[in-house]
Structure 1
């Protein structure tokens, strides 16, 4: 095991719980089938995407990714201004953008793709996942062997080349998943070197999962609602949690909402080096209450 490999203290037993309303087994099973069917449809249709124009392809990916999250019974809330769906966020000949986000769940991948379709940087283990693995590979995912430190420079060069070519690259620089409670992990600086080398803009985004209000009965016999203000643990995919167990938690957690908040972009030539750029992006994600952009809410 690489001693530099990021680890989180989160475990399925202590962090992946749900305190709100739950769905019955038949409804949860139906959502599980619907979500898997939506992913399968994307895998089957992926070979046809290169035949489409760039704007139409991006618009289709956004709609499909949004549909995946909704198919699993999770509401989507987009806060900020991600740009017009299907419209490029750059002019021809300019570098792409590096989108960086905190990491909580496997749901993060389609959630970010619903706003910023792009080439994901993912751990090599995902390549072997059923349905999701082949789909990620066909979608141009950049796989990294996290336990091989020697492979890191080549990964940075690959990301830099993709950015220089105009691609949008999506990275979770914490290097592992956290449950969403607390500040999360440190943003590794390596991927930010790729943005500096390519003169690419960094776009930080904040991901949170929350439960719907739960009802309880007052002593007078009236129903009242109680907001769960803490992030929803049902979405957390941490530690040695089996993917099947995480899928089932998500579909049984009624009223789960995924929020993605788009934060102000950071020019790569602003901070003096990759570590300063990583700290600035991490601070923006951790303190997203400051300078919040206008809201755009989708249900």
Structure 2
């Protein structure tokens, strides 16, 4: 896959991740209660059927899953979509990528079609919601499929859909992470759709945290255990001013979006 827009490699490993030690007593009881609440919400999500195709139902389920895990969501915006008067196009939301929790946080703010790697569909928690919400999955081992995926994203944007992508192509332990791959920005150019840069960041008990990161050779189960055992974990979604595609190519759009996301990431994380 050398040279592929999706052949991103992160320098982050499990050593980057700091988190809670295994808990006993009251801490363990809290973790078990969270698992029970999570299982109940997932069962309801699996049984929701066509109702989960409704935007507000996706938002509600995503917020429930975050609450089940004890994660506080902070976002000043009511949504991430950018209205385009007279055009009816959707918005390409581009965010940095740290954790599987990113997907839940973004869907809790803006129900949308998510472009995710194929493996996400097999994960517990996120995979269930992602599949039911109509996520588009991409096989990064098949770079020849990328132009088709970009065309499909363009069709969605032209139809008024909001689309969420993670242009870094892989996860990093914190923001800012890696460079933005440019391919998906072509969908916004083709559709004449605005691009909304978004920064996702995490804190725990008021300080920046790498605890939710899903990087290196770590397993989903281990990451889930860390999150479920955490106290005071917060995810912040920071929406930046939209970028209009007119006058840009995908290189300049990607550069501007990355600058917006990275600039916010270097600011202090609020609790």
> Is this a same-fold pair by TM over 0.5?
yes
1:288 is paired with a residue whose SS is helix
RMSD: 2.7
Is 1:207 aligned to 2:184, yes or no? no
Summarize the alignment of residues 60-139 of structure 1 with structure 2, pairs less than 5 Å apart: 60-82=57-79, 89=83, 94-130=88-124, 132-139=126-133
TM-score (norm 1): 0.81
- Say which of 230, 253, 257 aligns to 1:281: 257
Q: What does residue 177 of structure 1 align with?
A: 171
Distance 1:265 1:43 in 2: 34
User: What is the Cα deviation at residue 135 of structure 1?
Assistant: 3.4
Structure 1 unmatched runs, 5+: 51-56, 214-227, 291-296
Distance 1:15 1:289 in 2: 17
Question: Residues 38 and 67 of structure 1 are in contact (CA less than 8 Å); yes or no, is this contact kept in structure 2?
Answer: yes
Q: What does residue 28 of structure 1 align with?
A: 31
Question: Residues 187 and 279 of structure 1 are in contact (CA less than 8 Å); yes or no, is this contact kept in structure 2?
Answer: yes
Residue deviations 1:222-275 (CA, integer Å, cap 9, x gap): xxxxxx3xx3121111122111100000011111111111111111114x2101
Is 1:58 aligned to 2:55, yes or no? yes
Question: Residues 68 and 110 of structure 1 are in contact (CA less than 8 Å); yes or no, is this contact kept in structure 2?
Answer: yes
- Between 194-203 and 3-12, the greater mean CA deviation after superposition: 3-12
Q: What does residue 15 of structure 1 align with?
A: 16
Distance 1:105 1:99 in 2: 17
Distance 1:91 1:39 in 2: 38
User: What is the Cα deviation at residue 91 of structure 1?
Assistant: 5.6
Question: Residues 95 and 167 of structure 1 are in contact (CA less than 8 Å); yes or no, is this contact kept in structure 2?
Answer: yes
Structure 2 unmatched runs, 5+: none
Question: Residues 43 and 131 of structure 1 are in contact (CA less than 8 Å); yes or no, is this contact kept in structure 2?
Answer: no
2:114 is paired with a residue whose SS is strand
Distance 1:285 1:20 in 2: 31
Distance 2:75 2:31 in 1: 24
Residue deviations 1:112-171 (CA, integer Å, cap 9, x gap): 001111000000112222454343223111111112221111111111111111111000
Is 1:243 aligned to 2:220, yes or no? yes
Distance 1:137 1:288, change over 3 A: same
Distance 2:218 2:2 in 1: 20
- Between 142-151 and 168-177, the greater mean CA deviation after superposition: 142-151
Q: How many residues align?
A: 265
Question: Residues 82 and 91 of structure 2 are in contact (CA less than 8 Å); yes or no, is this contact kept in structure 1?
Answer: no
Question: Residues 2 and 149 of structure 1 are in contact (CA less than 8 Å); yes or no, is this contact kept in structure 2?
Answer: no
Distance 1:119 1:58 in 2: 10
Distance 1:3 1:37 in 2: 43
Q: What does residue 235 of structure 2 align with?
A: 258
TM-score (norm 2): 0.89
Distance 1:68 1:127, change over 3 A: same
Distance 2:258 2:161 in 1: 22
